[in-house]
Structure 1
Amino acid sequence: MNLKLNVRHLELLELLPIYPKFLTVNQLVVKLANQHAYKDHDEQNIKRNLQRDLKQLEQYGITESGDSPEGLKWSLVKGSMYLTAQLSPADALCFAIIEQFIQPMMPNVLSPYLTRIFKKSTQILANLNYHSKLKTWLDKVYIENKGQPLIPAEIDNMVRCCVYDALLAENILEIEYKNKSGELSNASVQPLGLVVRAHIQYLIVQYCGYDDVRMLAMNRIISCENSHKTFDYPDDFNLKEYVLKGTTGLAYSDSPIEFEGIFTGFAAEIIMETPIAKNQQTSTYRTDAEDKLLVKASLTMNYDFETWLLGLANHVEVLKPVSLRNLMREKLRAAVQLYDDS
C-alpha cells in the first residue's frame, strides 16, 4: 500500500531534521502548534496525531527514532533528500546561490518544486544573525561578465518556457524567427542545446531535413510551438565540444588557424597567465628596444578572438596567418581615419 501524504505529513516533514540531528515529540508539538493543520487544536490532540504520523512515516522508511532522556527523538532517515526536509543554513546558502546564478537555465519541470525550496532558503538566511558568515557570503561573491557589461536581451517568457520544454523532451519546435535584418521566417527545428553567453542566450538547433548545426538568438524567436513530435538526437553531437571549438563565438570557419603573434606589456602578462589555447607555445622575441613574447597556437578563428586582438591595440602584432594580419591592418587603419583630426 502506498503512503498518501496529507497536509499534516508535509508540515511535519518540513520541521524534521535529517539524522543525526533530531527533535523530540515535545519540541515538535511546540513547533506544530502554529501550523495550518494544527490551528485551534489543543496540545494533547496535537501530540496524539503527531505520534501517529511519525509512526506511519517510520513504517515507510522516511523517519527514524531513538531514545533520549526527554523521550523518543525523531529524524528523517540519513541521506534523505526530501524536498520538504529541514534545511541547514549551509543548505540554504547553496540553494540561494543556485537561485541567483543557475535557476534561469533550469527546465520548467523543476521550477514548481524548487520555488518552495528557494523561498524557504531565503527565509532561513534572513533569520540568521547579522554577523553570520553564511548570511554575508552572497555579498562577498560576484560573477562579473567578461568585457563591457550589456543589458541582457529580453526573451519572451512564453517562448522561453516552450523552448525549454521542447529541449528537455527532445521535441521538434515550430518557430517564427526574426534575423538581424528584421526579416521574418518560419521553420521546424530540432533543439540540441542552450548556450548562455553573457547578455545573450543561443538555442543550438538543426533545421529539419538538414545536418548542419545552427545558432538562434533566443531573443529573436518571435513565437514558437512545441509540436510534441520527437526526433532522434544526433549521436555525433556534443554541446561541450561544440562550444569549446569556439563556434559560439561566431566562427569564421570550421578549420582551425595556426596563429602567431608578438605580445608586449600587459598583453604579454595576460596571455602568460591565461593562455588562448591549451596548445599555446611561448618564447622570448628579442629586439633592440625590449624583449617581447612570441605566441603560437592552433585555434578556431572567430569574432570574439578578432575583437580581443583589436582591443589589445599596439600591444600585439599578428604575424600569421597573413589573412588575419591583413584584417587587423585594415580595421586599425579604418579606426585611425575616424580619429584623424585632419
Structure 2
Amino acid sequence: MRGKREGTQETARLVLELLKRIPRTGWTSAPELRKHLEAAGMKRDVRSIQRTLDQLQDLLQLERDTRSRPHGYRFKRDADFFAAPKLGAQESLLLHLAWRQLHPLLPPSLKDSLSALFEQARINLGAKPGSREREWLSKVRVVSRAQHLLPPPVDPEVFEAVCHALYDNKLLEVDYRNAVGEQWQAQVMPLGLVQLEPALYLVCRFDGHDDERLLALHRMRVARPTTLGFQRPAGFDLDRCHDEGLFAFGRGRMVRLSFTIDKEAGAHLLEMRLSDDQTVKDLGDSYRIAATVVDTWVLQWWLHGFGKRITSVIRRPISKVIDESDSP
C-alpha cells in the first residue's frame, strides 16, 4: 500500500509540475518540459511526458499542435484556470509587479511556461476593482530620471537565439553592425543579459580574450547558437561588472574626481553622494566636490550635462592621489 501511495503522490506531483509550465500563448513541447522537470528534480523521458499530456488533454483543456515534431502543447484560449496554481491577492500583486520589471529579460521559453501564472495574477487583480491590492498598482512606479527613450526593436529570432545560448551555456555566432555601421561576424561566449534603459545588451567574451564586452541586441542582424558548450569563467560576476563600470561603458579605471559646481545645481549631491568617501567644501556660491569613482562615458556625459555650471574638473588616477588637501 505504501508503494502505491508513493506512486500516486509522484504522479500528482508530475501533473502539477507540468501544469506550472504549460503556456496559454505560444507552445511548449515534451523535450522542453523534460528540461524543466529535470531542473525541478524530476527525471522523466520524453515519451512518458507525452503519454501523460495525451491522457490529460481533454480533462485539462489542452491543445496539441501536430503540424511538426515535437508536438506543441498549450492551454486552450477559452480554458479557465482551474488547473493553474491558485493565487491569493497578495501573491497576484507580487507576480504582477515582478512581471512589470522582469518581462524584458525573461527567455521566451520561460515566458511561455509562466504565461498562465502571470495571466492568472492579472485576472485576479482585475476581478477585484475595489481591492487594496489593485489600488496599490496605481500607487507605485519605478521611474528613471534619464530622458525617456523608446526601446530599439530587437528581432524576436535574435532574442530567442541569445536566450537559448545564454541559458544552455553554448557559444553564440553573431552577425553584428556597430553604432558607426561597421559589420562583422564573431563567435562569442554569452555570459549575461542586462537592460540598460531602454536597450538590451549581451555581456560576453570574444574568443581568445578574457575581458567582458557589451553587444547591443538590436544591432545583431543574425544570432545562431552553436552546439559547442563552454564552462562559465570562474571569476565572472555581473555585480563585479557593474562595480567596474562596464554597464556605464568604462573599463574599471578608478579616478579621484574633483570639480566645482553651482550650489543650486549641486545641492542634490549632498543628499545623493557620488561615493562613500565624497567630500564637500562650501565655497560660498558653489561647492568643491571630490569623490573616488569609476571613469566611464556615462560619467563624462553626466559632467557635460551641467554645462557652465560645473568648472575645474580634474580626474586623477587613483594611484596618484596622496591627500585630499591637494585638490584645488
TM-score by length of structure 1 reads 0.67
Q: Secondary structure at the match of 1:104?
A: coil
Q: Secondary structure at the match of 1:295?
A: strand
- 1:119, 1:295 → 2: CA distance? 49
- 2:16, 2:162 → 1: CA distance? 36
1:101 aligns with 2:126: no
Work out whether residues 203 and 218 of structure 1, in 8 Å CA contact, stay in contact via their aligned partners in 2: yes
Residue 222 of structure 2 corresponds to which residue in structure 1? 223
Residues 93-112 of structure 1: per-residue CA shift (max 9 Å, x gap): 11111122212212334223
Residues 216-255 of structure 1: pairs in structure 2 closer than 5 A: 216-251=215-250, 253-255=251-253
Residue 294 of structure 2 corresponds to which residue in structure 1? 300
Q: Secondary structure at the match of 2:142?
A: coil
Residue 281 of structure 1 corresponds to which residue in structure 2? 279
Residue 11 of structure 2 corresponds to which residue in structure 1? 4
1:166 aligns with 2:165: yes
- 2:127, 2:315 → 1: CA distance? 60
1:317 aligns with 2:311: yes
Work out whether residues 284 and 292 of structure 1, in 8 Å CA contact, stay in contact via their aligned partners in 2: yes
Q: Secondary structure at the match of 2:192?
A: strand
* Closer/same/farther in 2, CA of residues 318 and 236 from structure 1, 3 Å limit: farther
* Closer/same/farther in 2, CA of residues 191 and 322 from structure 1, 3 Å limit: closer
Work out whether residues 245 and 296 of structure 2, in 8 Å CA contact, stay in contact via their aligned partners in 1: yes
1:186 aligns with 2:180: no
The aligned amino acid for 1:162 is A
Q: Structure 1, unaligned stretches of length 5 or more?
A: 14-35, 40-82, 324-342
Identity across the alignment (%): 23
- 1:235, 1:162 → 2: CA distance? 24
* Closer/same/farther in 2, CA of residues 195 and 266 from structure 1, 3 Å limit: farther
Work out whether residues 166 and 228 of structure 1, in 8 Å CA contact, stay in contact via their aligned partners in 2: no
The aligned amino acid for 1:176 is D
Residue 72 of structure 1 corresponds to which residue in structure 2? none
Query: Offset at 1:248?
Result: 1.8
The aligned amino acid for 1:283 is K
Work out whether residues 107 and 164 of structure 2, in 8 Å CA contact, stay in contact via their aligned partners in 1: yes
Residue 202 of structure 2 corresponds to which residue in structure 1? 203
* Closer/same/farther in 2, CA of residues 278 and 9 from structure 1, 3 Å limit: closer
- 2:312, 2:143 → 1: CA distance? 29
- 2:247, 2:152 → 1: CA distance? 16
Q: Structure 2, unaligned stretches of length 5 or more?
A: 1-6, 21-57, 62-82, 318-328
Q: Secondary structure at the match of 1:301?
A: strand
Query: Offset at 1:5?
Result: 4.7
The aligned amino acid for 2:315 is P
Query: Offset at 1:203?
Result: 0.6
CA RMSD, 1 decimal: 2.8
- 2:106, 2:312 → 1: CA distance? 41
Residue 70 of structure 2 corresponds to which residue in structure 1? none
How many residues in Structure 1 have an aligned counterpart in Structure 2? 251
Residues 135-150 of structure 1: pairs in structure 2 closer than 5 A: 135-150=134-149
- 2:278, 2:165 → 1: CA distance? 39
Residues 282-319 of structure 1: per-residue CA shift (max 9 Å, x gap): 2323xxxx343221112122221111112222332234
* Closer/same/farther in 2, CA of residues 245 and 266 from structure 1, 3 Å limit: farther
* Closer/same/farther in 2, CA of residues 38 and 212 from structure 1, 3 Å limit: closer
- 1:171, 1:230 → 2: CA distance? 4
Residues 82-97 of structure 1: pairs in structure 2 closer than 5 A: 84-97=84-97
Residues 18-97 of structure 1: pairs in structure 2 closer than 5 A: 37=59, 84-97=84-97
Query: Offset at 1:38?
Result: 10
TM-score by length of structure 2 reads 0.69
Work out whether residues 205 and 213 of structure 1, in 8 Å CA contact, stay in contact via their aligned partners in 2: yes
Query: Offset at 1:183?
Result: 2.3
Residue 261 of structure 1 corresponds to which residue in structure 2? 259
The aligned amino acid for 2:11 is K
Residue 57 of structure 1 corresponds to which residue in structure 2? none
The aligned amino acid for 2:296 is N
Work out whether residues 261 and 296 of structure 1, in 8 Å CA contact, stay in contact via their aligned partners in 2: yes
Where does structure 1 differ by over 6 angstroms across 4 or more consecutive aligned residues? none
Larger radius of gyration: 1
- 1:298, 1:175 → 2: CA distance? 37
Residue 52 of structure 1 corresponds to which residue in structure 2? none
Query: Offset at 1:37?
Result: 4.3
- 1:204, 1:37 → 2: CA distance? 44
- 1:244, 1:322 → 2: CA distance? 19
Residue 269 of structure 2 corresponds to which residue in structure 1? 271
* Closer/same/farther in 2, CA of residues 9 and 294 from structure 1, 3 Å limit: closer
Q: Secondary structure at the match of 2:104?
A: helix
Residues 252-284 of structure 1: per-residue CA shift (max 9 Å, x gap): x54212111112223321111111123222232
Residues 126-137 of structure 1: pairs in structure 2 closer than 5 A: 126-128=126-128, 130-137=129-136
Residues 167-200 of structure 1: per-residue CA shift (max 9 Å, x gap): 1221100111111222221110001111211111
Work out whether residues 171 and 228 of structure 2, in 8 Å CA contact, stay in contact via their aligned partners in 1: yes
